[in-house]
Amino acid sequence: MYKFISGRIRGGGYAIKGAWLLLKHEPSFQVQFFIAIVVTITGIYFEITATEWMFQFFAIGLVMCAEGLNTAIEAIADFVHPDFHSKIGHIKDVAAGAVFVAAITAVIIAAFIYFPYFFDI
Ligand SMILES: Nc1ncnc2c1ncn2[C@@H]1O[C@H](COP(=O)(O)OP(=O)(O)OP(=O)(O)O)[C@@H](O)[C@H]1O
């Protein structure tokens, strides 16, 4: 039981380290983090509802999670095949496509939340 708990705590430590590495080294992740701060301040300013906060945090998490996984896939691709290869290009394009889908979803959620506040409708 002790081993199980200490193993889980250690795993959590590695995960936090991974999130910190993304924030420290990945420009795309840093941009998304900055946007997350901006929309959080915007949410506070407009006093959005609890449901809108939930959707907003879900959208932020979705995009940053997709970006983190995309970064990991890119790193694996570069590690297993550092040279140019059409298959590696395809893998990276598909992984980037997943981030794009998450980002479009977040933009749609943001539009639904903020249109009424910005245009007073
Ligand atoms: N080894 C490779 N072989 C073939 N195509 C590649 C290779 N490396 C990159 N590409 C192409 O270049 C694109 C950008 O790849 P890259 O690894 O530079 O990602 P990136 O633009 O730095 O992504 P991010 O901004 O998320 O870090 C890929 O989507 C792919 O189309």
Residue nearest to atom 15 of ligand 1 (CA): 92
pLDDT(33) > 80: yes
Mutation probe of ligand 1 site: the residue of 33, 69, 80, 92 with most atoms within 8 A of C-beta: 92
Asked if residue 11 belongs to a domain, the reply is: no
- Which structural domain, as residue segments, surrounds residue 108? 27-119
Q: What is the pTM of this model?
A: 0.90
Nearest C-alpha neighbor of 36 from the set 16, 62, 11:
62
Confidence of residue 118 (pLDDT cuts 50, 70, 90): very high
Given pLDDT bands bounded at 50, 70 and 90, which one contains residue 56? very high
Say yes or no: CB of residue 96 within 6 Å of ligand 1.
yes
Structure tokens at 93: 């394009």
Residue 114 within a domain: yes
Taking alpha carbons only, the member of 61, 71, 67 closest to residue 106 is 61
When pLDDT is cut at 50, 70 and 90, the band that residue 121 belongs to is low
CATH code, domain with 59: 1.10.287.3610
pLDDT per position as a tens digit, 69-115: 999 999 999 999 999 999 999 999 999 999 999 999 999 999 999 99
Whether 57 lines ligand 1, by a CB cut-off of 6 Å, is no
* Residue 7 belongs to a domain: no
Confidence check: pLDDT of 116 > 90: yes
Exactly one of 39, 43, 67, 113 is catalytic; name it: 67
Count of domains observed in the chain = 1
Q: How far apart are CA 30 and CA 21, in angstroms?
A: 11
